[in-house]
Structure 1
C-alpha cells in the first residue's frame, strides 16, 4: 500500500506541474492577442512550432533511454548519467550551432523578413538549454525526487509567465501613464516598446537559463565521459523513440510551419501569411479544453491499464472507460463548439482573430479522436508490440503532410484543421482495427460513433443556423447544448444504473 500511495502521490506532483504549465501558457493567449497584431503573433506561433518540433531532435528520446538502461541489473547509474549527459552535451552544442547558422533560411520559411535573425538565435539557445536540463530532470525522477522536479518546473513556468506579464502588460501600462506614472523613469530603463514579440522569446530564454541554474547540483555532479562503444546500444534503443516523437510532432505542430510555406499569396485579401498563422495559432489555443482532458487522462490511464491487465474482466473495464471518456469529451466538444463565440471574445482580444473561429470545432473533434487513440493504444502497450505505435504515428505524419500540401492552397488554415482531424481520426480507426486482431476489447464502437455523429450534427446545425440577434443566437446554442445533455441522460443513465447494480 505504501508503494501505491507513493506512486499516486508522485504521479499527482508530476501531473500538476505539467498541467499547471499548460493552463498558465493558455492564459497568456489573451495577453498575446491584446498586445500583438495577428502578424506579430504569427511570428510567435511559427517560432514555437519550430521549437516543439526540433525539441525532439535535440533530446532524441534520450530521457526514456536513460530510464530503461538505469533500471537494468548491474548498471552503474552514476557512470550511465555521465555518459548520457556527455553525449547530449556534444549533440546539443552541434545542433545549437547549426541552428544558429540556419536561422535566416528557417525564419524565411515562416515568412519572417530578413533582419530578425535574433529570433532564430534565441530559439536555438532555448532548445539547447532545455535539452541540457532533460537528463538532470530525468535523474530527479529516477531518484524519486518528485517535489524538487515539480518545484523547478513550476519556477520555470512562473518566471516565464511573470516576465511576459511584466513586459507585455505592466511596463506598457506604466509607460503610457495608465498605471503608476511615478514608475515611468524606472520602467524606461528596462523596457523598449519597439521590440515587441522579442520579449516573449527573451522571457522564455531567461526562464530556461534559470532552470539550468536551479539544477546546479545535478549539473555539477557530472564528469565528461564519451565512449561511442558504450553508447552504441543506447543509440540503438533511442533511435525508434526519436522517430516516434518526430511523427507525433509532425501531427501536432507541422501545420503551423507548412501554412506560410504553402499558402498562396493574397489567399486572404489584405493579410500576410504571418497574419494567417497568427489567427490559426490563436484559435488553435481554444482547443486547449480537449488537450487538457487528454493530458490528464494520459497521466492516469497507463498505470490504471497496466494494473488491470491481469484481471479477468479487464476487457470489459477498458470498454467502459472508453465509453465514458468519449461521452465526456463529446460534451466538451458540443459545449465549447456551440459557445465558441463567447470563448473567442474572452480570450482573443482583437477582432481580427475571431475570423478563424471556424477551425475550433474541427480541432476540438480532432483532439477528441486523439484521446480515443490514447485509449485504444492500451492493446499494443499490454502486448509489448509498441512498434505498432510507431507505424501508426508515421502513417499519421504522412497523411498530415499530404493533406496540408493539398488543402492549404485550397482552404487556407481551414485545410490545416481538416488535415489534423483526418490524421487523428485515421490513427484512432487504424488502432481500433489492429487491436481487434491482437487484443480484442468489446468497445461499443457503433454506439459511440452514433453519439459522435449526433454531437457533430448538433454543432453543424448550430453553426449553419446563426440568428442575427445576440440573445436569440445564444438561446439557440444553449438549447442545442442542453438537448445533447438530456439525450445522454435519457439514453445512458439506465445503463449506468444497471452497471452499478451489477458491480
Structure 2
C-alpha cells in the first residue's frame, strides 16, 4: 500500500475516532456550564478528587492487558486463537474488577477519611463508584475489540451511546431531581448499567465461557503487560494526581479551579485521543509493508502539524472558553488549561515514540521511564505548587511528561530505527509554545481587542508553519484531492 493510501487510512480512522472523542469530550463541555452554576469551586474539588481516584482504579484494573491483548491479537490470523486471547483478558479483567469493587465498597469509610470532607454522602459517592467498576468492563472490552477488528464506526457508536446516556442521566439526577453531588455518581452507575447489554451485543461472537481463558497465553500476556504498569500508573501520577497535591498545599477551591482547567484542556484530547486510538491498530497492521518506516516517519509530521495546531488554538483561547462555559469564579483556571493542553499533545507524542519498543515487545523501557517521570513529578509538585500555585502543578505535569517521548524516541530507535524528522518537529513545537506564551504576555483588558490580538498571533504562526513545511502541506492537500477523486 502506498504512502498516500496509508496516511489516508490513518487520517480516516483518526477522524472517526475523533468523532467519538467529540461526543465524549462533549460531556465535559456540556456539563461544565451546568456544574459550575450548581456547584461551588469547593464542590468541584470533591468531584476532582473522586474523578481522578476513579481513573486510577480503572487503570489498575485494566492492568495494561488491553495493550497485551492487542499485541497478541495481531500475532495470528486465526479467529479461534484470537478468541482465546480476548477471553483471557475478559475473564481476568472481570474477576479483578469484582474483587476490587467489593473491597472498595467495604472500605469506603476509610477512603472518605483520607481524602474527602467528613460526610455520609462522601461514603455513598465511593460506594456508587465501587458498584460501577465491574459494569464498565464490558464497554471497555467491546470498544477495544471493535478497534482490533478495525470497525471504527461501531466503536464510535458504542462510545456515543455511553456519552448520551451519561448526559441524559446527569440532567435527570443533577438538574431535574436536584440530587446534589450524589446525582453525578448515580448518573454514572445508571449509564454504565444500560450500556452493558449493548456492549455484549457487539461482542457476542467473541465472549465465551471461562474455559476459554487460556492458561498458556496468560503468562506471556501478563509478562508483556506487567512492565507497562509503572507506565500506566505513572501516566495517572503525571496527568491526574495534581488535585491531590493541591488539596494538601492549597484551599479546596483551588482543587476545583484546577479540575476546571483539566476539563477545558481535555478538549485538546479530541485530537490526541483520536490519533492514539487509531495509531496502534494502524501501526501493527502495516508493520510488514516495505514502506512502513516511511509512513511512520511522515505520521510524526502529520501529528505535529495537525494535532499541534489544534492544541495551540485551545491553549490560546482557553480564557475565552471559560467565559463562555463558566462563571467568573472559574476564570482563574485559564492559564492552567493552556499549560495542560500541551500535556495532551505530549501524551500523543509518547504514543508515537514508543512504537519501536512495542514492535520488539520490549515494554520495560516504557514502564521505567514513566516511573522515573512520576517520581520527578512528585518533586516538581513539592517545589512548584507552594510557589506558583495551581499553575505550578500544571507546569510540573508538562516538565515530567516531556522526558517520556524524548527518552522513548531514543530507546525505540535501538529496537526499530525510524527516520523521524526531529529537527523540524522541535521548531514547530517551539513556535506553538511561543505563540501561546505571547498571547498571555500581551494580554489586554478589553476582551474584543484581546481576541483580535490572539487571532493575529495565531494567523502569523500558521503562515510561518506553512512556510516551514511547504512540501508536507502540498502533499497533504494532494492526499485530500486524491481522496475526493476516489470518493
**TM-score with structure 1 setting the length:** 0.79
Change (3 A) 1:425 1:76: closer
State the Cα distance separating 1:353 from its structure 2 match. 0.9
Check the 8 A contact 1:400/1:423 in 2, yes or no: yes
Q: 1:200 aligns with which of 184, 188, 199?
A: 184
Check the 8 A contact 1:153/1:211 in 2, yes or no: no
| 1:318-345 deviation per Cα after TM superposition (whole angstroms, max 9, x unaligned) | 3333223213344334433332221111
Aligned to 2:104: 99
Map residues 76-475 of structure 1 onto 2, 5 A cutoff: 87-115=92-120, 116-131=122-137, 134-135=140-141, 151-169=157-175, 171=176, 191=177, 193=178, 195-214=179-198, 223=209, 235-260=222-247, 262-263=248-249, 267=250, 272-273=251-252, 275-306=253-284, 309-310=287-288, 314-347=292-325, 349-475=326-452
| 1:415-443 deviation per Cα after TM superposition (whole angstroms, max 9, x unaligned) | 22111111221112112232444444443
Check the 8 A contact 1:370/1:424 in 2, yes or no: yes
State the Cα distance separating 1:287 from its structure 2 match. 1.5
Check the 8 A contact 2:14/2:274 in 1, yes or no: no
State the Cα distance separating 1:382 from its structure 2 match. 3.5
State the Cα distance separating 1:306 from its structure 2 match. 4.1
Q: Give the distance between the partners of 2:446 and 2:153, measured in 1 at CA.
A: 52
State the Cα distance separating 1:204 from its structure 2 match. 0.5
State the Cα distance separating 1:96 from its structure 2 match. 1.3
Change (3 A) 1:333 1:471: same
Give the number of equivalent residue pairs.
468
Q: Give the distance between the partners of 2:22 and 2:97, measured in 1 at CA.
A: 27
State the Cα distance separating 1:396 from its structure 2 match. 2.2
Is there any run of 5+ residues in structure 1 with no aligned partner, and where? Answer: 172-190
Is there any run of 5+ residues in structure 2 with no aligned partner, and where? Answer: 483-487
State the Cα distance separating 1:54 from its structure 2 match. 0.3
Alpha-carbon RMSD across the aligned residues, in angstroms, is 3.9
Greater gyration radius: 1
| 1:23-45 deviation per Cα after TM superposition (whole angstroms, max 9, x unaligned) | 33433222222221111122222
Aligned to 2:32: 29
1:59 counterpart = 2:62: yes
Change (3 A) 1:138 1:207: same
Check the 8 A contact 1:396/1:424 in 2, yes or no: yes
| 1:400-458 deviation per Cα after TM superposition (whole angstroms, max 9, x unaligned) | 23322333333332122111111221112112232444444443333332333233233
Check the 8 A contact 1:404/1:416 in 2, yes or no: yes
Check the 8 A contact 1:67/1:142 in 2, yes or no: yes
State the Cα distance separating 1:362 from its structure 2 match. 1.2
| 1:102-122 deviation per Cα after TM superposition (whole angstroms, max 9, x unaligned) | 323323343432322101101
Check the 8 A contact 1:45/1:256 in 2, yes or no: yes
Q: Give the distance between the partners of 1:499 and 1:148, measured in 2 at CA.
A: 27
**Secondary structure class of the residue paired with 1:28:** helix
Check the 8 A contact 1:363/1:417 in 2, yes or no: yes
Q: Give the distance between the partners of 2:284 and 2:173, measured in 1 at CA.
A: 46
**Secondary structure class of the residue paired with 2:134:** helix
**TM-score with structure 2 setting the length:** 0.81
State the Cα distance separating 1:227 from its structure 2 match. 9.1
Check the 8 A contact 2:142/2:200 in 1, yes or no: no
Change (3 A) 1:377 1:487: same
**Secondary structure class of the residue paired with 1:443:** coil
1:47 counterpart = 2:25: no
Check the 8 A contact 1:58/1:131 in 2, yes or no: no
Question: Which stretch shows the higher mean deviation, 384-393 or 140-149?
Answer: 140-149
Q: Give the distance between the partners of 1:426 and 1:138, measured in 2 at CA.
A: 28
Check the 8 A contact 1:26/1:288 in 2, yes or no: no
| 1:223-255 deviation per Cα after TM superposition (whole angstroms, max 9, x unaligned) | 566999676566445433444432322223222
Change (3 A) 1:496 1:213: closer
